Amino acid sequence: MQTTSEFTSKPSNQKSVKQNAYWLIVVILSVLMIMTRPYHFASALHLPSASLAVFFLGGFFLKTNKTFWGFFALSVSIDLASSYARGAFGDCITVSYPFLVVGYFALWQTGKWCFFNEDQKNIALGVTKNIVGLFIASSIAFFTSNASYYFISGKFPDLSWMQYSTRVAKYYFPYIQSPFLYVILGLAIYCIFSQIKLLKSGQINVK
């Protein structure tokens, strides 16, 4: 027979596990951003940028807007540090730079909206929802950051919409493709651990 203390300890243990998982995800996503953000100190690794994926997965797993601003501060710090090291603040730190927050916040909110529970019956539907949401949010991030850079930074005063379309067409698909590998890997790990958890809890019967 379980005592009262045993019952009260369970919520406390569950809260501790959730907190540990939260900080583990924060650390993993932070390291991933530091290792892969363009113009960082570790660019010799030649890894595709994971910044978009970090904000999407951050919304999916961590959810809180307070945490979003922490990751945005990290991204700004990386850009400032790498720009200082290269002596080229004007390359990416322009008056259009704050528009990055629009795309990143869209990714964060989309990731939060696309979250699916571990016991959801149709996992494929949940994953599909994430892929479609990631495509849309990545497109928003591209056009808000890219268009603001071309039209507000002051570096292209005579650029027409036709010239803009021609210039950015070759960058659009590589840009929105970059987060997919990381997000798919993150979702795969989440689904695997979720199924293991359900098996241990007896919610899935193995015949």
Domain ranges of the chain: 4-201
Two tokens at 171? 């960058």
Position with higher pLDDT, 205 vs 125: 125
Cβ-based neighbours of 2, under 8 Å, separated by 6 or more:
none
140-191 pLDDT tens trace: 999 888 877 766 765 666 666 677 677 777 788 888 898 999 999 999 999 8
Position with higher pLDDT, 144 vs 27: 27
What is the model's pTM? 0.82
Residue 93: closest CA among 80, 102, 104: 80
62-80 pLDDT tens trace: 999 999 999 999 999 988 8
Residue 93 predicted with pLDDT over 80: no
Residues present in the chain in total: 207
Instruction: Give CA torsion, residues 174, 102, 40, 176, to 10 deg.
Output: -10
pLDDT confidence of residue 166: 76
Q: Which whole number is the average pLDDT over 126-149?
A: 90
Q: Is 41 helix (H, G, I), strand (E, B) or coil?
A: coil
- Write phi, then psi, for 82 (nearest 5 degrees): -70, -35
Residue 29 predicted with pLDDT over 70: yes
